[in-house]
Structure 1
Amino acid sequence: MALVGNMIATSTAGNSALVNYDIFVAVFGMLSLLYLLPSAFMESFNVPMVSIALDALNVLFWFCAAVATAAYLGVHSCGNAAYTRTNQITNGSPNTKKRCHEAQAATAFLWFGWAAFVASLAFSAMSGRGNMNMRGGLRRGPSMSQV
């Protein structure tokens, strides 16, 4: 979040929509953690469907941000001034080399964040499956009678 925030703060010619989306994803993830962390430690605070929904949204948002940032950034060298001046992510700052390095680091952290939310989604789904009654309210008697 700090890397993308610094990219926005040092921008002189505006930011691409992708950089703004990256900061949205980081802020949404942080706000989600305000619910997800306490609910992981206090069972009475946990609503399984809310945890699963927040984790699923974070997985989707972080994956989209990581793929889009990596695709728009490309795999060029940050020392190539012709590349950094023409790329829509790295352009817009007086020091395009620094901005390029920040964008590459932010891309790596977006992938780590995505992996963390995938793991969190798996744990939320496993713990939520035991707490939710997915079948209807139909109750039946015991399947075997004791003799």
Structure 2
Amino acid sequence: MVDVGQLISRISALIWVLLVTAVIGNVLHNNINGFMAPLNFTMFCAALAWFPALYGFFASFIPAMVCPVFMIPLDALAVFFTFVSAVVLAGSLGAPNCGDLHFARHGHHWIGWGAKNDIKRCREIQASTSFMWFLWVSLSFGLIFSIRSAGNLSFRRRYYPRPNMSQVA
């Protein structure tokens, strides 16, 4: 039977990772000698997040694919790296007013500089930061559901014989 909570968390993770990959990919594509370290790390984390999102999505439909030994560490790595990426991206960007950018307010190595249209770049990075936080929440719920399903598949559980209908008083 399909676990609805797991399916919803996996579908939402797929949507958020798709959005993060698309927006950060566009920022990377339009780069003109800008500061790229946080953006490259974010793209790495988005690429890493594809694996548990896709595997968990298919495993929610195909019970034979459920392998907690593989799924829980993969989910945990994705949750950890997504959290770090969201913090790094938010810290590197700060809280600018993207419609009113001035070079004096931000340093030379600010990640908002480096495109023909810096306002667009700034807004795309702001959007991808919020998408990373939503992705982190979705992956965290996926990890919780993976741990919960691993408890249901425990091999240490002892099965006691149930009484027959004739033995029930």
Structure 1 segments (4+ residues) deviating >3 Å:
83-87
User: Secondary structure at the residue paired with 1:81?
Assistant: coil
* Structure 2 length-normalised TM: 0.74
Alignment of 1:55-66 (within 5 A): 55-66=75-86
Report what 1:133 is aligned to: 155
Q: What stretches of structure 1 of length at least 5 have no aligned partner?
A: 143-147
Higher mean alpha-carbon deviation, 15-24 vs 110-119, is at 15-24
For 1:9 and 1:85, locate their aligned partners in 2 and report how far apart those are by CA, in whole Å: 22
- Residues 66-111 of structure 1 show CA distances to partners (whole Å, capped at 9, x for unaligned) of 1111111111211232246745211111211110000000000000
Corresponding residue pairs, total: 138
Contact 2:75 2:143 in 1 (8 A): yes
For 1:17 and 1:77, locate their aligned partners in 2 and report how far apart those are by CA, in whole Å: 22
Match of 1:105 among 108, 118, 127: 127
Q: How far 1:114 moved relative to its partner?
A: 0.1
Match of 2:112 among 73, 80, 90: 90
Match of 2:54 among 34, 43, 51: 34
Match of 1:118 among 107, 120, 140: 140
Q: What stretches of structure 2 of length at least 5 have no aligned partner?
A: 1-20, 162-169
One-letter identity of the residue aligned with 1:110: M
Contact 2:112 2:121 in 1 (8 A): yes
Q: How far 1:134 moved relative to its partner?
A: 5.9
Higher mean alpha-carbon deviation, 93-102 vs 11-20, is at 11-20
Q: Which has the higher contact order (CA 8 A, sep 6+)?
A: 2
Report what 1:51 is aligned to: 71
